[in-house]
Each structure stands twice: as C-alpha cells, then as structure tokens.
Structure 1
Amino acid sequence: MTRPKGSTVAFIGLGIMGSPMAAHLVAAGHDVTGFDLSPASLDKLVADGGKAAASAQEAVSGAEVVITMLPNHPQVEAVIDEVAFDDGTLLIDMSTIRPSTSIEIARKLSNVRVLDAPVSGGQTGAVQASLSIMVGGNEADFAAARPFLEVVGKTIVHVGPHGAGQVVKAANQLMVGGIYALVAESIVLLEASGVDPKAGLDVLAGGLAANRILDLKRESMIAREFQPGFRIDLHHKDMGIALDAARAADVSLPVTNQIAALVAAARAQGYGSLDHSALLKVIENFAGRS
C-alpha cells in the first residue's frame, strides 16, 4: 500500500516504545511533532528529525493523525480531556488500556475517527518496526490508519469494533504471562533434577513446546539476566486489564487468575522494575531454590 508521505502526525508519549515508533514515522517522511513529560525524550525526537511541542495541545493542533502511546488509562483520559481535536482527526491510541475506556473514548469523541491499536513485541519490536498491532474500530478508519501502522509494525489486523483491540491485547498478555511462568517452572525442574537447563530447553524449543519466549528468552532466563524489555510493573497492570475484561464478559479464567497472582507476587517481592521473565525469581522463591 502506498504510504501518504508528508502527513502531519502528533505523537503523544515518547517512552521506550513511543520514541522509536515516532522516529520510524519521521524516517518514513512524515512531519512528526511529539510531546512527552521527559525533556530527554523530546530531545531524542528532535535529534531524529521530528519537532518537540510544549504541550499535548500544541502537538495535536493541525495534525491529521494523532498517536498516543501512554502507560495506562488515566494518562490517556487526561490527554483526551485536555486536548481539542480538529474535526475528522484520526486518533490512534496504541496504549494498552481497559476495553471499556477505549469504547468510552470513541463515544465521547464523536467528531474524531478513533481506533484502539495496542501492540505486542516490546521494545525490540518497536525498535525493529516489527510490532504486532491489534486494531479495534471502524473498518474505514482502519484502512486510513494502516499506512501509518505499517511503518511501525509487521502484523496488523483489524480485530473488531471499538475495544476489540484491547481485548485481544489482554488475551496476548495473559498468554505471555502464562508461558513465562511455565518456562520458569521448567528451568526450576531441570536444574533441581540435575539436568542442564540449556540442553533441556534447546530440545523443547524444537518440539511441540516451541514458542517465541523460548526462542528469545531462554538463555537470558537461565543466566538470570532480567534487564527490562517489558517490566513486571506494566505486566501487572495488563493482568488487571485481562481480569476486568473477563468480568465484563462474565467468564471465569482460572489460569489467568493464577498468572495474575504470580505477577502480583513479583511486584510484592520487589521485582517490579525487572523484565517480566523475572517470574523465574518468584517460582524459585516458591520452590525454595532462591
């Protein structure tokens, strides 16, 4: 699909995900103005060829496309409440928030084309422009947004109406948390049994148990290297979203409840700033092998 060169884009939220995403949009030929509370993040955008705004309103004024990439629903709601959007603006919220909040934002901004478009792939995916993007909203608005999403992602799917993107992201996060917990338990079992965990996981990664977490994280987990690509604190927030979505759908997700409890335990044990692969430390503590 031909990308609309030279579009004016406002990017709100220039953290570890938003910063490289905004830089990709600049490199693709768009006129990107960003806002973030961190002066260093604004300086990085300027160094990448974008423009820095003194406020969210300044960034959004005159923008054809507004992208938000913020930590949680209070920050997204704060931007929505303080900014006056031009009629017809395409607002792509790429934050991970509650589905109900995404639905309410779309209802509230009746003069704006709104999409919820959370992502999977972490900091590495943002840097490599290889994110998976799950999009909720109107089909025509999705078609308008796709050229911009293609700049930052590889797997881009319209999954349903407003809020559907957030539901799919919740499913993603409960699965990721569950896989991390099982990989962690496998490492603990292998080591406690005197089996080389690297050899064991190498075999598992080539069979039916193969998954992306084994591919990308088994060596760092065995080495107990937990430099954050996605922090436990954020995964804790996401598990709350998954549980809220389950309540809204009136379904019981017993394994999800267990994974949420493990992630909460990781925070309680002081691991909130570590990568979510640090669930291994929680499993080790439970197993008496810390």
Structure 2
Amino acid sequence: MTNVAVIGLGIMGLPMAINLVKAGYTVTGFNRSQDKTDKLVADGGKGAASIAEAVKEADVVITMVPDSPDVEAVVSGDDGVFANAKKGALWIDASSIRPDVAARLAEDARAAGLRPLDAPVSGGEQGAIDGVLSIMVGGAAEDFAAAQDVLNAVGKTIVHVGPSGSGQTVKAANQLIVAVNIQALSEAIAFLEAYGVDTDAALKVLGGGLAGSKVLDQKGQKMLDRNFDPGFRLALHHKDLGIVTSAAREANVAVPLGAAVAQLVAATVNQGDGGLDHSGLFKQVLQQSGRK
C-alpha cells in the first residue's frame, strides 16, 4: 500500500502527511485552504482539488478534521470518501469524534467496501511533527494489522483497543485526563507564583516526583512564559470535553472533576480564547485569582 490520501491538513494533519512522505509513501492531500496543500506539495506530496480526486487511487485514506459533523461531511455525498475511494481501501479516521458516530460511520464504510479504523491521536502538534503520536485504534484486528506500517510512520505508541468506536472512547478518556491535569498544573503554578517561589526550580523538582507528567513537561513552561501559541486549541478541547460528559452521562458514569473542568474550559472559550493552546486554561485560573 503505497498511495495515501490525507483529508485535512491542519495543525495535526499536515505534519502527519509530511511524515508519510518522508517514509516513502505517495501522499495526496486535500484541504479547504490552499496554503496548507501548497506546503505539502513543497515537502514532496501532491495536492488535489477535491476529495474525490484525492482518494481515487488511494490504498489508504486518512481523515483528520475537527469534529463529528466534519467527518460526516468529508466521507458522505457524491464527492465524499465513501463514494470515491476504491474497494478494499483502508479508511483511517484520525479525528477526535463521538464514539457512537465513529461506530455508525464504520458500518457505512464497510457497506461501501472500505476497511474502517477509528484512530484518534494524542501528542499535540509537536508529537505530530516528530512522528511520535500515541494512537488508539478501534476496528477489526486484521485491518489494524494492515494499517500498521502507515501508523508507524506517524506514531510511536500504537495500540488496538477494540472494535469500531473503541479508539474514540479511549481518546475521550485521554482528553479527560489531560484537561484535569492542565487545570491542576494551572492552579499549582498560580499558587507557586503567589508565594514568590522560583517557579523554574519548582517545576523541575515537581517533574521528578509523583507529580511529574507529560502535561507538566510540555505545558509548564508555556504557562510560565504566558505563551499560548496553539499546539492543540482550547476550542477543540472544549469539543472533546463535550464528548466526554455526554458519553459519561449515557453510561451512567460520574465525572465530577471532568464536568467542572469542562465548564472552566467553556468559560475560557466563551471569553474569546478558543484559539489559544489548551494550556491557556491557565488564564482562567489567573483571572479567578485576580492575578496576571
């Protein structure tokens, strides 16, 4: 399988596509904004004027778009993936969407003769650039095995977690853990700053103990620097927490911390900060503390 189509060349999709080019695949990309397609072409890929054109020769189709309705839009209709991809192609949805939508679209994909995998990713923009994403994959075991080489080109920790929809369920759990960690780190840094502690030294020692985490490693300095350039936008985490709280309610699972952080993220987004990195949740803590 040498021909890969990537639909959605955003913060995550573009570096993933470039890493596939570097791995030796023939990569054709489609994106609504032409500049991202031009960037892929400059790095050795190909550009397409439509989804239909992008997927017509693809052995593997990867979709990486923001939300459930966006995935449905790119796979359905006369110009969509399902109507134009060749029979037997793998469809890997790397987007983060509702588990029930993922399972339903997997059924539609199979009816169209495709082999679906829901494979949301974690690791942010830098993880995508470095090709070290964590990928949680739902779908048939044989389809996962067939997709292994392609997934290895963009990720490092790649695990089959169950049938269709399971990847999205695990991703929702991932986003719950990350959001609560970002909130806790935000509160801790505000607390340290209020007491005039050497925050660089404090984060170094905290990172070496039980409080250490990838969130602390990757987001702590951004908070200290008040640098919230997006690696993963708050607006997208807001969407993901909506998935978490809705799915938890359907399963009769209590997520009190998740629900509280979801409201704090919502407030931050509603105040106009949805385009910031999710570490920008720190701004909400500072505001509530009367600090800058």
TM-score by length of 2: 0.95
SS of residue paired to 1:109: helix
The amino acid of 1:169's aligned partner reads K
Shift of 1:86: 2.1
Aligned position for 2:65: 70
Q: Is the 8 A contact 1:98 1:244 kept in 2?
A: no
SS of residue paired to 1:269: helix
Shift of 1:50: 1.3
Of residues 160, 163, 187, the one that matches 2:165 is 163
SS of residue paired to 2:147: helix
Shift of 1:73: 1.0
Q: What is the rounded CA distance, in whole Å, between the counterparts of 1:287 and 1:53 in structure 2? A: 49
Deviations 1:116-137 (A, max 9, x none): 0000001101100010000000
Q: What is the rounded CA distance, in whole Å, between the counterparts of 2:40 and 2:217 in structure 1? A: 32
Aligned position for 1:56: 51
Aligned position for 2:96: 96
After superposing the two structures, state which structure 1 stretch, 186-195 or 176-185, moved more: 186-195
The amino acid of 1:105's aligned partner reads L
Aligned position for 1:132: 134
Q: What is the rounded CA distance, in whole Å, between the counterparts of 2:175 and 2:205 in structure 1? A: 25
Matches within 5 A, 1:110-129: 110=110, 111-129=113-131
SS of residue paired to 2:273: coil
The amino acid of 1:100's aligned partner reads D
Aligned position for 1:145: 147
Aligned position for 1:26: 21
Segments of structure 1 that go 5 or more residues without pairing to the other structure are none
Shift of 1:194: 2.9
Aligned position for 1:17: 12
Q: What is the rounded CA distance, in whole Å, between the counterparts of 1:122 and 1:219 in structure 2? A: 15
Deviations 1:143-183 (A, max 9, x none): 00111000000000001111110011111111111111011
Shift of 1:216: 2.0
TM-score by length of 1: 0.95
Q: What is the rounded CA distance, in whole Å, between the counterparts of 2:149 and 2:241 in structure 1? A: 30
After superposing the two structures, state which structure 1 stretch, 210-219 or 175-184, moved more: 210-219
SS of residue paired to 1:270: helix
Q: Is the 8 A contact 1:232 1:263 kept in 2?
A: yes
Q: How many residues align?
A: 285
SS of residue paired to 1:165: helix
1:267 aligns with 2:286: no
Shift of 1:100: 0.7
Deviations 1:30-77 (A, max 9, x none): 111111111111111111111111100111112111110111111110
Shift of 1:271: 1.4
The amino acid of 2:182's aligned partner reads Y
Aligned position for 2:221: 219
Q: What is the rounded CA distance, in whole Å, between the counterparts of 1:140 and 1:72 in structure 2? A: 27
Shift of 1:21: 0.8
The amino acid of 2:31's aligned partner reads D
The amino acid of 1:130's aligned partner reads V
Q: CA RMSD in A?
A: 1.2
Of residues 191, 194, 206, the one that matches 2:193 is 191
Q: What is the rounded CA distance, in whole Å, between the counterparts of 2:56 and 2:4 in structure 1? A: 10
Q: What is the rounded CA distance, in whole Å, between the counterparts of 2:279 and 2:172 in structure 1? A: 18
Shift of 1:252: 1.5
Segments of structure 2 that go 5 or more residues without pairing to the other structure are none
Off by >4 Å, runs of 4+ in structure 1: none
